[in-house]
């Protein structure tokens, strides 16, 4: 055992000396692997960071949350012309679902409307993301409040002119003033501010709560009616904790088909989407991005590997005389083999570590430049970079090392002379 350890140590020392002796060649070899490792780990880190950010955005909702609408949130086989003929989800259907479907814990009505301007005295914020929902929305989506509260059932059902505003809206309109109880102008009418949502940062899926306002759905219904072509209705459903999700979807589908009087040979004129379905789509996209990153970065790694192999062949040729002398003095094939293998692996590993360091620097710079998006270099990606660079060095160096170890000592010395 001690003999093998000594062999490894001496081989390692020879490899380091050879690398120190040829600094320019070592640097050029490192460069290829560094670029390759930097490319692949940078792509993986960026995609991993994107995946974490997206899932963090979705974490405020239960993964089983359902969305009932006359349009689909994801890919569908129903052609567009046919989808456009589907009736909007009605307020009566929303009320019926609340009372008839037992496994639904909360159901909220949401109306997609155009952006509005909001004014307080001389201050105006234009084109504000206006979230029109019933009071149950607060029980489905987690929201923290800096001040005040969300509107209650009475305010929601009566369509009272109350509004909950995001932190950036509050700052733009009121500055250092306390917004609670203040009157703002919206839809040509005065609304009372009853809550300010706690700052959460920008969102990947449209506008965040920071730049949004929330008003009761029944206010908009009472003002514009239920048949306004510029409004889209959607029912947000949160199942009970122990509910069978697939069974609930089937029950909800049958309920809606019966409610709409659809015949057995007619397709559903509505769509039921879930957060878990969104996550599956996201996972598919993330997987595709990772695959593309591997393919693109693989070419860089291939170039780096060929670079190391080429340098190792040159190194073997330059040191043919030395190899012959070592063998004539009793050096075994294993010693020569390990000597060149170590040299190749050290080259690749050092290049990989430099690449990882550059990625780490890049994540710090990227996180500082993007306030609400954090780039993360995970331990898994760091280990992956180290492992890949080691394998590249091993594969690139094995043929030159084998060739060096199999040299005839007499021929090697003669060639060197």
Distance, CA of 273 to CA of 321 (rounded, Å) = 72
pLDDT number for residue 337: 78
pLDDT number for residue 3: 52
In the block, residue with structure tokens 């060096």:
404
pLDDT number for residue 60: 54
pLDDT number for residue 404: 76
Distance, CA of 397 to CA of 342 (rounded, Å) = 8
**pTM of the entire predicted model:** 0.64
Q: Is residue 27 a contact partner of residue 311, using CB atoms and an 8 Å limit?
A: no
Nearest to 88 by CA among 228, 277, 264: 228
Nearest to 194 by CA among 217, 160, 231: 160
Beta bridge partners of 264: none
Which H/E stretch holds residue 382? helix 379-405
For residue 406, give every residue at least 6 positions away whose Cβ sits within 8 Å of its Cβ, in sequence order, or none: 333
Distance, CA of 140 to CA of 124 (rounded, Å) = 31
Q: Is residue 98 a contact partner of residue 104, using CB atoms and an 8 Å limit?
A: yes
Distance, CA of 245 to CA of 239 (rounded, Å) = 7
Nearest to 132 by CA among 229, 239, 269, 236: 236
Nearest to 235 by CA among 55, 61, 114, 112: 112
For residue 91, give every residue at least 6 positions away whose Cβ sits within 8 Å of its Cβ, in sequence order, or none: 109, 221, 226, 233
Distance, CA of 165 to CA of 15 (rounded, Å) = 66
In the block, residue with structure tokens 């969102």:
203
Tens digit of each residue's pLDDT, the chain (417 residues): 555 566 556 555 655 666 666 667 667 667 777 777 777 777 777 777 777 776 666 655 556 788 888 887 767 788 888 888 888 888 888 998 888 888 888 889 999 888 899 998 888 988 889 999 999 999 888 788 999 999 999 999 999 999 999 999 999 998 888 999 999 999 889 999 999 998 876 654 556 788 899 999 999 998 888 777 778 889 998 888 887 888 888 888 898 999 888 888 889 888 888 766 566 666 777 777 777 777 777 777 777 777 778 777 777 777 777 777 777 777 777 777 777 777 777 777 777 888 888 888 888 887 777 665 667 777 787 787 778 878 887 887 788 878 877 777 667 676 655
Distance, CA of 58 to CA of 275 (rounded, Å) = 8
Distance, CA of 191 to CA of 186 (rounded, Å) = 7
Which H/E stretch holds residue 295? helix 275-318
pLDDT number for residue 43: 77
For residue 102, give every residue at least 6 positions away whose Cβ sits within 8 Å of its Cβ, in sequence order, or none: none
Tell me the three state secondary structure of residue 269.
Answer: coil
Distance, CA of 338 to CA of 344 (rounded, Å) = 10
Q: Is residue 262 a contact partner of residue 50, using CB atoms and an 8 Å limit?
A: no
Measure Cα distances from 378 to 19, 300, 359 in Å.
31, 22, 11
Nearest to 304 by CA among 385, 402, 379: 385
Query: Is 14 exposed, middle or buried, given 0-12, 13-18 or 19+ CB atoms closer than 10 A?
Result: buried
**Rg, Å, the chain Cα set:** 33
Structure tokens that stand for 72 in this block: 């689909």
Distance, CA of 396 to CA of 406 (rounded, Å) = 17
Nearest to 138 by CA among 197, 88, 181, 92: 197
Q: Is residue 305 a contact partner of residue 395, using CB atoms and an 8 Å limit?
A: yes
Structure tokens that stand for 114 in this block: 């155009």
pLDDT number for residue 278: 62
Structure tokens that stand for 165 in this block: 């505003």
pLDDT number for residue 373: 62
Phi, psi of 36 (to 5 degrees): -65, -50
């Amino acid at each position: 055992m001690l003999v093998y350890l000594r062999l490894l140590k001496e081989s390692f020392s020879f490899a380091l000396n050879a690398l120190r002796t040829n600094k320019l060649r070592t640097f050029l070899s490192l460069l290829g692997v560094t670029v390759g490792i930097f490319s692949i780990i940078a792509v993986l880190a960026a995609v991993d960071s994107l995946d974490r950010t997206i899932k963090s955005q979705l974490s405020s909702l239960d993964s089983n949350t359902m969305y009932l609408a006359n349009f689909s949130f994801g890919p569908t086989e129903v052609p567009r012309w046919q989808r456009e003929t589907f009736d909007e989800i009605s307020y009566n259907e929303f009320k019926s679902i609340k009372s008839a479907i037992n496994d639904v814990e909360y159901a909220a009505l949401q109306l997609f409307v155009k952006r509005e301007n909001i004014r307080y005295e001389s201050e105006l914020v234009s084109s504000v993301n206006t979230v029109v929902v019933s009071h149950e929305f607060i029980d489905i989506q987690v929201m923290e409040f800096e001040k005040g509260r969300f509107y209650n059932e009475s305010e929601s059902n009566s369509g009272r002119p109350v509004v909950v505003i995001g932190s950036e809206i509050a700052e733009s309109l009121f500055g250092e003033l306390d917004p609670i109880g203040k009157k703002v102008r919206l839809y040509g009418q005065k609304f009372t501010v009853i809550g300010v949502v706690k700052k959460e940062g920008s969102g990947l899926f449209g506008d965040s709560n920071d730049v949004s306002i929330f008003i009761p759905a029944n206010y908009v219904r009472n003002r514009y009616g239920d048949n306004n072509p510029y409004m889209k209705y959607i029912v947000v459903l949160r199942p009970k904790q122990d509910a069978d999700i697939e069974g609930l979807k089937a029950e909800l589908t049958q309920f809606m088909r019966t409610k709409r009087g659809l015949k057995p040979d007619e397709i559903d004129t509505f769509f039921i989407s879930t957060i878990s379905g969104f996550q599956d789509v996201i996972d598919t996209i993330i997987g595709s991005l990772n695959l593309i990153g591997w393919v693109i970065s693989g070419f860089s790694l291939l170039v780096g590997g060929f670079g190391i192999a080429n340098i190792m062949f040159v190194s073997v040729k330059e040191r043919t005389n030395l190899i012959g002398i070592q063998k004539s003095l009793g050096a075994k094939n294993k010693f020569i083999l390990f000597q060149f293998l170590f040299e190749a692996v050290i080259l690749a590993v050092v290049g990989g570590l430099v690449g990882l360091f550059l990625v780490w620097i890049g994540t710090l710079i990227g996180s500082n430049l993007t306030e609400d998006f954090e780039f993360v270099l995970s331990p898994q990606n760091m280990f992956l970079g180290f492992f890949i660079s080691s394998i590249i060095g091993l594969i690139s160096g094995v043929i030159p090392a084998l060739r060096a170890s199999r040299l005839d000592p007499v021929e090697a010395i003669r060639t060197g002379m």
